[in-house]
Chain A
Amino acid sequence: MNTIGNVTGIIANLVIVETEGTAGQNEICFIKHGDTRLMAEVIKVVGNKAYLQVFESTRGLKVGTEVEFMGHMLEVTLGPGILSKNFDGLQNDLNKMDGIFLKRGEYTDPLDFDSKFAFKPLAKKGDKVTAGSWLGEVKENWIAHKIMVPFKFNGEFTVKSLKEDGEYKLNDAIAVLTDKDGKDHEVTMVQKWPVKVPIKAYKNKPRPFKILETGIRVMDTLNPMAEGGTGFIPGPFGSGKTVLQHSLSKNANADLVVVAACGERANEVVEIFTEFPELEDPRTGRKLMERTTIIANTSNMPVAAREASVYTAMTIAEYYRAMGLKVLLLADSTSRWAQALREMSNRMEELPGPDGFPMDLSAIIANFYARAGFVYLPNGETGSITFIGTVSPAGGNLKEPVTESTKKVARCFYALSQQRADSKRYPAIDSIDSYSKYLEYPEIEEYLNSTISENWTDNVHEAKDILLRGKETYEQINILGDDGVPIEYHIRYWKSELIDFVILQQDGFDAIDASSSLERQDYMLQKTLGVTRMEYDFESFEDVGPYFKRVINALKQMNYSEFDSDKFKKNEKELEKILKEQKQEEKEEAKA
């Protein structure tokens, strides 16, 4: 029998409920308002009063209204059919909702319980299994979706029976497992899991040692993201955070992508809805939508569900990771989630921390980022969640609590620079301010040098060095004037411009340049460094710019041509010609 209570207080979406029964932290409740049932979550209990955050508008709600406590926390439903779906923050299938406007208290099934899926057993009778063990698989789009022993099962079980190949509905029992006391348990293709609890059905979580290829040069080459790593993108409005996240979701080498659109613009989500079913995954040729799941809680949707949305997304990612898949999780923006926490904390009249955020903000963020990672599954397979969140710092000031708390836990930092955005140098990632801690991991270094090319990390550091020195030189030229500095300064500056234009800048709207393979990145980096390593001897500073502009143009044309194609080679020849001419000229000058 569920606990029943009555509403005794209402302040915006904070509702106070008096109950004689038991109430648990984070327990889900339903408030019976007229014909609708409003979903809410317990966020504090004092004596016989439970404080609920309501996931809906509380307009018209009255004191005395009955509230039912459900006895469980906010859960997601996990099973075949999650891919390609558009959910709200509470995992309601948005496509199943009637009408143009969202109706309060309307909740829809996250999965299609009437559809049949072709099941194929993987385990056999007599197998010893534990939570997360693979019992069988079904085809979901192109992914072999594993049917696992429910994560809630504790201890070891023996497979008593297992269904054979065939078509089954989600709620059909596909296996019977016997626990150590001899009790039988039926398993279906669906299971539930509370979003705020990490799924730990893995053996161990090593330090990331591989790179997640994103196709974006300024990331892969200069500040690589590890598979199973964490990163964040802070930036003022208009610096291209969302464009970069979209670009990642399009090009990253992941098996599937979960996008949590958390408290951002609805039209941006509409862009994904409209474009992804049309766009092709550059690696598999399949439609991007086939590997994408969207959790949309746009800024005008209920605030409390915004907090839930990032957890819902993470739990779905963990579910797929347990199948041995490479998952990329993107959250735009984690600041909106933190603001949702602040609004509730404020209504509960808690003592505020910095900028009015709750005191435990840092811990909440750290716990969340810790759920990402590369894992070894009990059966020896691997899976990963790479998590990249955006942060929208108030006033573009990076010394605010959300940015600072995130900086402590995320290993990659992609700083978007307003200045680069203003001068249309996209992606506007400032390669000098940004960092990837993974580049310092010996295991990553070894991986890079053994899989890409022998001198890869040395080359990367050399390029970084040139960029840094170029920036310093540029400042000096600005102060002293073009002819107030030695010609060497101009050469140094233009070498960094060369790397900027050829490696850092990338045309996200160009079919070819939008995504660059690691092999290609290696080739282009070596080509570019080949130019910067040459010795130059110019007559006047006025000759430096035009020469490098020609080189940049030739290299950019290579970026725009298909790798190793005739056009690519033609442009490469063009480049060699420019380089040769330069050497020739210098030789002649030396002779004269």
Chain B
Amino acid sequence: MEKETKAFQRVYTKLFQLTKATVSLRAQGVGNDELAIVDGRLAQVVKIIGDMVTLQIFGGTEGIATNAEVIFAGKSPTLKVGDDLAGRFFNAYGEPMEGGEIMGEELEIGGPSVNPVRRKQPSEFIPTGIAGIDLNNALVTGQKIPFFADPDQPYNQVMAMVALRAKADKIILAGMGLTNDDYLYFKNVFDNAGALDRIVGFINTTEDPPVERLLVPDMALSAAEYYATKKNEKVLVLLTDMTLYSDALSIVSNRMDQIPSKDSMPGSLYSDLARLYEKAVQFPDGGSITIIAVTTLSGGDITHAVPDNTGYITEGQLFLRKDSDVGKVIVDPFRSLSRLKQLVIGKKTREDHPQVMNAAVRLYADAANARTKQENGFDLTDYDERTLEFAKGYSRKLLAIDVNIEMEEMLETAYALFSEHFKPEEVGIREEFVKKYWHK
């Protein structure tokens, strides 16, 4: 052991290759993925050929000279976890931003996957108070779902709201390329809500080097695993923004001369993203990790490699849209989808929930058709007029992101709108539910 330790502490001072993100040197006894300090900056081994070791420098290589000091750490990236993790914000390396130390166990980040036969089927409903989510796209513990949003949409605000209202034991914020303003926004919102003791943040802002971002989700998810397995807690992880994370991946793969695949993303993008998202899990002992992420789109294009691969990995996606009729941002009922909602709606929520959800969305679709008809200059029928009126109420009272009501009230609001504009047979809800719940 001792001999090894000595070997690790050997200082190398001769780099023979420098690129924008990597340095190479001759060294012995180095392990794959091992950490090193290069001229005071954190680096990780990404390639070993014989005694030639290539290191990826998270902070970038600006100013590093060929005689820079390199010290190998003998371990891969770790995070110290313990009770005093809660309520604090960390940088990408897992160091508290306000300084100080964390007392506790040292966990290797990016650890192994859960054995699929040991997983439990997700079955617990997560109420958020936002009807566009709870009513139409109910979230379930152990689910992973992103917001597909354009950069100008208020996704961080919605995410902060969801996080605060979801009855999670811990909320872990992984900020990648977060603007400093948004970072402060999150901090203030959580502080004002008196929720700081439930929050752990791992933050890489736009002021920090982009490659550092690569550590952030692993740090956050390792902390999540700690709370979910050691404390059996329900953990909600917020990943914002995964497109910027993917950009960092593409920077590194480019510097390593890898052949890019679609949209200059690395060919391993699917596996790289899946490795993170699949950390969402319902453990048998009650703990769970739920992931809500943000994937920013460019011009709403969901065929770009990042949203496309994400869509294949995650269990649905949420879209925000500005409804100009009511002047509010709504959760788009057509394009949003929660794949796991079937596991809870009508089971953990009121029996008529699925029927009400489908009826309302169908009527909203009829309204969209009526609007197209109107725009094309065709005459509207009486039914068309009523669907348009219904759509306005539905947008304002249920779909808008500023709605904050209980599940029961969402269903009642829907019935109120139904009975205001339609006859029961036009809504198409099952007989028994009409008898029981219809507003007369």
Contact = CB atoms under 8 A, between A and B. Distances in A.
B439 to A, nearest CB: 26
A392 interface: yes
B117 A86 contact: yes
A340 B143 CA distance: 25
B33 A299 contact: no
Interface stretch (B84-92, B175-183, B306-314, B393-401): B306-314
Interface stretch (B188-196, B237-245, B259-267, B410-418): B259-267
A351 to B, nearest CB: 9
Contacts of A274: 121
A103 B112 contact: yes
A356 interface: yes
A346 B309 CA distance: 19
B268 A97 contact: no
B206 interface: no
A331 to B, nearest CB: 15
Interface in B137-164: 142-143
B259 A346 contact: yes
Contacts of B358: 424
B114 A100 contact: yes
Interface in A348-399: 352, 355-356, 392, 394-397
Interface in A259-302: 263, 265-267, 269-271, 273-274, 296, 298-301
Interface in B247-277: 258-262, 267-268, 270-271, 274-275
Given A10-B48, A356-B261, A97 B115 contact: yes
B116 A86 contact: yes
Contacts of A301: 113
**Main SS at interface, chain B:** loop
Contacts of B312: 237, 392
Interface residues of A, number: 58
A408 interface: no
A99 B29 CA distance: 31
A275 to B, nearest CB: 8
A11 B47 contact: yes
Given A62-B29, A270-B121, A356-B260, A343 B49 contact: no
A298 B259 contact: no
Contacts of A103: 112
B120 interface: yes
Interface in A400-439: 422, 424
Contacts of B311: 236-238
Interface string B45-82: 01111110000000000000000000000001000000
Nearest to A86: B117
Given A59-B33, A355-B262, A299 B117 contact: no
Given A10-B47, A59-B33, A356-B267, A265 B262 contact: no
B115 A355 contact: no
Interface string B33-49: 11000000000001111
B32 A339 contact: no
Contacts of B142: 267
Contact of B283 (A58, A97, A100, A237): A100
B50 A58 contact: no
A63 interface: yes
Given A16-B49, A342-B261, A395-B308, A299 B278 contact: yes
Contacts of A59: 31-33, 76, 108
Contacts of B271: 263, 299, 303, 339-340, 343
Contact of A356 (B30, B76, B259, B309): B259
A356 B260 CA distance: 7
A323 to B, nearest CB: 26
Contacts of A395: 262, 303-305, 308
A60 interface: yes
Contacts of A397: 303
Interface in A24-56: none
A381 to B, nearest CB: 34
Given A339-B267, A481-B378, A352 B259 contact: yes
Contacts of B270: 263, 299, 336, 339
A247 interface: no
B322 interface: no
A529 interface: no
B407 to A, nearest CB: 22
Contacts of A12: 46
B207 to A, nearest CB: 30
Contact of B117 (A101, A273, A352): A273
B269 to A, nearest CB: 9
A110 to B, nearest CB: 14
B122 interface: yes
B369 to A, nearest CB: 11
Contacts of B261: 342, 355-356
Contact of A100 (B48, B115, B305, B309): B115
Interface string A96-121: 01011111100000000000000000
Contacts of B108: 59
Interface string B319-338: 00000000000000010010
Contacts of B268: 303, 339, 343, 346
A102 B113 contact: yes
A143 interface: no
A263 B274 CA distance: 9
B281 interface: yes
Interface of B: 28-34, 46-51, 76, 108, 111-122, 142-143, 229, 258-262, 267-268, 270-271, 274-275, 278-279, 281, 283-284, 303-305, 308-309, 311-313, 315-316, 334, 337, 339-340, 358, 378
7 contacts: A10-B48, A59-B32, A102-B112, A236-B311, A266-B119, A296-B116, A303-B268
Given A267-B119, A339-B268, A355-B261, 19 more contacts: A9-B50, A10-B32, A10-B47, A11-B49, A12-B46, A59-B31, A62-B32, A63-B30, A63-B48, A94-B117, A99-B115, A101-B111, A101-B113, A236-B311, A270-B121, A274-B121, A296-B116, A303-B268, A356-B259
Q: Across the A-B interface, give the 9 residue pairs with the lowest CB-CB distance, nearest first.
A: A395-B303, A299-B274, A300-B278, A237-B311, A356-B261, A9-B49, A60-B31, A59-B33, A300-B113
